[in-house]
Chains A and B, each alone.
Chain A
């Protein structure tokens, strides 16, 4: 051997740690805009009673079908006359659309977040075990294939109409079609990580299967699942709105964006605002979530872009 010191000939190792993925998120415009918009809409939902003093369900026959900007007047408990501007107009029952839109944000966000948590937790559990234990895999994946073959909207419509319309059934009905997608994602990750030499090394140092899953496999699913959960949240909000719009979702008296639009359908040609305002808010919300999801994916999990 020559006298060259050993460490000199080796390629210099990367010394500085790459800036953490979480820090990089702050530099992604898509994440920033999406998160900001989402936060504003969430704030709107939370502060709904402060943003409007009217009961979103209050029916006022004298104020039916007013165009945006119409001044309504009513008398309060002490008989004083209050005038109020209906900035988004009123619907065919005289309910204030602005108030209903503000309250509608609550339902959409609750449905979106609950569905994404539910489906990710269920999908993760099923996917981890199906991917790691081969004997489970065949049966579980066939059932998932079957579930995926039924178009989500049809599955949800059928489930809701059969079990009766309520917030809970809508959440479950919207979550069920999402589960197979999560299972597939998790399973694909597990299958590829299982082949990694570091997992084989863990097996050969006697690590039990459950610990291998927990220590070496599970952490690899977190970033993709966060991304997936974001997209599920967006599509769940859309699906809930569609169900309400078709009249098979949350009961019509509840102010949801889909319900406001469903109510406005018949008079759309005359009073388009009933559909356009809640439609705009719905679009903006889902857009914010999808932008957030896109940004998260690009930052946390660049490889995942190939899986859509």
Chain B
């Protein structure tokens, strides 16, 4: 075998003194060959991104490499001068990042940003450079490359910006491409296209790719080999098929088992036809209008003509990409925003236009759990105070409210003694459990989970999903589950509404929608889901 493009041996990187462990990376060794894609997989805090940045020499001073070597085509980068590292960047190693929306300089034209690479590393004349840039933009399949050169980043979509980033990283034909979660911030359909593009360019050019991800779907889609990281240590490495189908290490096994299957399980019909309808909407609409000075007002339909229905004990999923209007619907139903049209029937009462005073009596019936566990709890109040706030608003005595919150803590599998503690003393998953407890303290009829597990690591996600299922079952709750993640939706929903551009394009039993999607958009969405052909839960 030829010399690997990247070879990392015994890499140790220290963490600052007051961290929860001594090293970000503890003795990791692996290599990336030319023309190969190696995926570095791990949950948050596993040190995967630290390894990526160390190879580029972009680590902050607070994370020093303690020992080990990072060899780029045989040349050790550990201890290389800043000048040498600069020379190597983009010429022999390029990098793309997670956030295409912020990774490009907003005040500089896209072409100029690529041009900077050429000017820094080559002596080419302006006309030659421009030609090269346009050719490269064409290679990443951006429409109208000549116009693209002169456009500013904000005029492009997230996927297009990531293509510009790829063009920038590959314009000088480096032998190594480091991709740090390049598709995590993108919608699933865009993600599929970007993955395809990376695959294509990498094959054509024989580039070695170090691909950082937390998503086993993406791994199944793109990787030749996989390295699994846990707490800075490499626990398992091998060819993709082998790791995914026959993982050896218990951590890898647990991770892969936590990935929800794309096929809905057979679910007993939880909600009989006779069960009461907890919530229904009729032609619900939300329009945002910005008053323009010239040319009149601009109107955006965030949601239009949404009619859904949830019965007691049933989970309705709303699935869609960002901007589809799924969260708008959830927030209208919770009356955090005022709908601009239609009806919201909560246990038969229309609350769509109910004034705040009367609404207060009904608020406890609908509770919501938000996406970001770090911002959902007031950091200055103990979790106990946060949980009892609602019941006390409705006249429950403090003592009784505390009693209820202790029971709920047990229900969400947390120590009731922890009620005295502050949110920062809990992990993300624990905080999400606390938020569920706070919602349940109101004894709601309907629980809305607005991307409630999206910010969690896959193993934690599995636990929280399991908890939600148990609660729905034992309390016979109606649940409105908002998610962009098709796998999650397949596992927890009885019925699914697929939204696109503010309207519900497909609505039906989950099993039916996933097995035989009718609408064109639904089919495209399902096709784009990464690692679809791979049945993880079977592992």
**Which residues in A have some Cβ–Cβ distance to B below 8 Å?**
1-4, 6, 9-15, 17-18, 196-198, 200-208, 211, 215-216, 219-220
Contact partner, A17, options B253, B372, B422, B429, Cβ 8 Å: B422
Bound form: Cα–Cα A6–B467 in Å: 12
Bound form: Cα–Cα A204–B370 in Å: 12
Bound form: Cα–Cα A2–B537 in Å: 11
- Are the C-beta atoms of A219 and B257 separated by less than 8 Å? no
Bound form: Cα–Cα A17–B420 in Å: 13
Q: How far is the CB of A65 from chain B (nearest CB, A)?
A: 59
B221 close to chain A: CB less than 8 A: no
Bound form: Cα–Cα A61–B217 in Å: 94
Q: How far is the CB of B46 from chain A (nearest CB, A)?
A: 9
- Are the C-beta atoms of A11 and B367 separated by less than 8 Å? no
B189-220 CB contacts (< 8 Å) to partner A = none
What are 6 inter-chain pairs, A to B, with CB distance below 8 A?
A2-B257, A14-B425, A17-B424, A207-B393, A208-B360, A211-B393
B341 close to chain A: CB less than 8 A: no
A residues near B44, Cβ cutoff 8 Å: 11
- Are the C-beta atoms of A1 and B363 separated by less than 8 Å? no
Given A10-B427, A13-B426; A203-B375 close (CB under 8 Å)? no
Number of A-B contacts (CB under 8 A): 108
Given A206-B390, A207-B389, A216-B378; A201-B438 close (CB under 8 Å)? yes
Instruction: Name B429's closest neighbour in chain A (CB-CB).
Output: A10
B residues near A208, Cβ cutoff 8 Å: 360, 393
B390-449 CB contacts (< 8 Å) to partner A = 390, 393-394, 413, 422, 424-430, 435, 438, 441-442
- Are the C-beta atoms of A206 and B254 separated by less than 8 Å? no
Q: Which of B64-72, B130-138, B456-464, B478-486 contacts A (4 or more CB under 8 A)?
A: B456-464
B368 close to chain A: CB less than 8 A: yes
B515 close to chain A: CB less than 8 A: no
Contact partner, A205, options B250, B372, B389, Cβ 8 Å: B389
- Are the C-beta atoms of A219 and B253 separated by less than 8 Å? no
Interface centre among A10, A204, A207 (most CB of B within 10 A): A204
B residues near A1, Cβ cutoff 8 Å: 254, 257-258, 462, 466
- Are the C-beta atoms of A202 and B250 separated by less than 8 Å? no
- Are the C-beta atoms of B360 and A12 separated by less than 8 Å? no
B residues near A15, Cβ cutoff 8 Å: 425
In the complex, how many residues of chain B place their beta carbon closer than 8 angstroms to a beta carbon of chain A?
52
Instruction: Name A219's closest neighbour in chain B (CB-CB).
Output: B380
B residues near A216, Cβ cutoff 8 Å: 378
- Are the C-beta atoms of B257 and A201 separated by less than 8 Å? no
Bound form: Cα–Cα A206–B392 in Å: 10
B102 close to chain A: CB less than 8 A: no
Q: How far is the CB of B417 from chain A (nearest CB, A)?
A: 14
Instruction: Name B357's closest neighbour in chain A (CB-CB).
Output: A208
B495 close to chain A: CB less than 8 A: no
Contact partner, A204, options B253, B336, B466, Cβ 8 Å: B336
B164 close to chain A: CB less than 8 A: no
Majority secondary structure, A binding face: loop
A residues near B381, Cβ cutoff 8 Å: 215
A residues near B45, Cβ cutoff 8 Å: 11
B262-319 CB contacts (< 8 Å) to partner A = none
- Are the C-beta atoms of B363 and A204 separated by less than 8 Å? yes
Given A9-B459, A204-B368; A17-B427 close (CB under 8 Å)? no
B376 close to chain A: CB less than 8 A: yes
B20 close to chain A: CB less than 8 A: yes
A-B residue pairs, 10 tightest by C-beta: A205-B390, A197-B370, A2-B254, A206-B363, A9-B459, A197-B376, A13-B427, A206-B393, A198-B378, A10-B427
Bound form: Cα–Cα A211–B360 in Å: 14
B377 close to chain A: CB less than 8 A: yes
A residues near B428, Cβ cutoff 8 Å: 10-11
A residues near B251, Cβ cutoff 8 Å: 4, 9
Contact partner, A12, options B20, B370, B394, Cβ 8 Å: B20
Interface centre among A10, A15, A196, A216 (most CB of B within 10 A): A10
- Are the C-beta atoms of B250 and A4 separated by less than 8 Å? yes
B364 close to chain A: CB less than 8 A: yes
Contacts A1-B254, A2-B254, A4-B459 supplied; 6 other A-B pairs, CB < 8 Å = A6-B413, A11-B457, A17-B424, A201-B368, A204-B334, A208-B360
Instruction: Name A205's closest neighbour in chain B (CB-CB).
Output: B390
Bound form: Cα–Cα A6–B386 in Å: 24
A residues near B176, Cβ cutoff 8 Å: none
Given A4-B254, A11-B44, A17-B422; A201-B20 close (CB under 8 Å)? no
- Are the C-beta atoms of B460 and A9 separated by less than 8 Å? yes
A residues near B466, Cβ cutoff 8 Å: 1
B366 close to chain A: CB less than 8 A: yes
Bound form: Cα–Cα A12–B426 in Å: 8
Bound form: Cα–Cα A3–B254 in Å: 8
Instruction: Name A198's closest neighbour in chain B (CB-CB).
Output: B378
Bound form: Cα–Cα A13–B333 in Å: 33
Bound form: Cα–Cα A9–B461 in Å: 11
Q: How far is the CB of B451 from chain A (nearest CB, A)?
A: 11
Bound form: Cα–Cα A193–B422 in Å: 18
Instruction: Name A16's closest neighbour in chain B (CB-CB).
Output: B425
Instruction: Name A1's closest neighbour in chain B (CB-CB).
Output: B257
Bound form: Cα–Cα A172–B438 in Å: 47
- Are the C-beta atoms of A2 and B390 separated by less than 8 Å? no
Interface centre among A17, A201, A202, A211 (most CB of B within 10 A): A201
A residues near B372, Cβ cutoff 8 Å: 197
Q: How far is the CB of A47 from chain B (nearest CB, A)?
A: 40
- Are the C-beta atoms of B424 and A14 separated by less than 8 Å? yes
- Are the C-beta atoms of B394 and A206 separated by less than 8 Å? yes
- Are the C-beta atoms of A6 and B389 separated by less than 8 Å? no
Given A12-B20, A17-B422; A202-B389 close (CB under 8 Å)? yes
Q: How far is the CB of B410 from chain A (nearest CB, A)?
A: 15
Bound form: Cα–Cα A15–B427 in Å: 10
- Are the C-beta atoms of B336 and A196 separated by less than 8 Å? no
Q: How far is the CB of B78 from chain A (nearest CB, A)?
A: 28
- Are the C-beta atoms of B367 and A205 separated by less than 8 Å? yes
- Are the C-beta atoms of B254 and A203 separated by less than 8 Å? no
Bound form: Cα–Cα A205–B405 in Å: 14
A residues near B371, Cβ cutoff 8 Å: 197
Interface centre among A205, A215, A220 (most CB of B within 10 A): A205
- Are the C-beta atoms of B336 and A203 separated by less than 8 Å? yes
A residues near B430, Cβ cutoff 8 Å: 10, 13
Chain B 323-363 interface mask (CB, 8 Å, partner A; 1/0): 00000000000111000000000000000000000001001
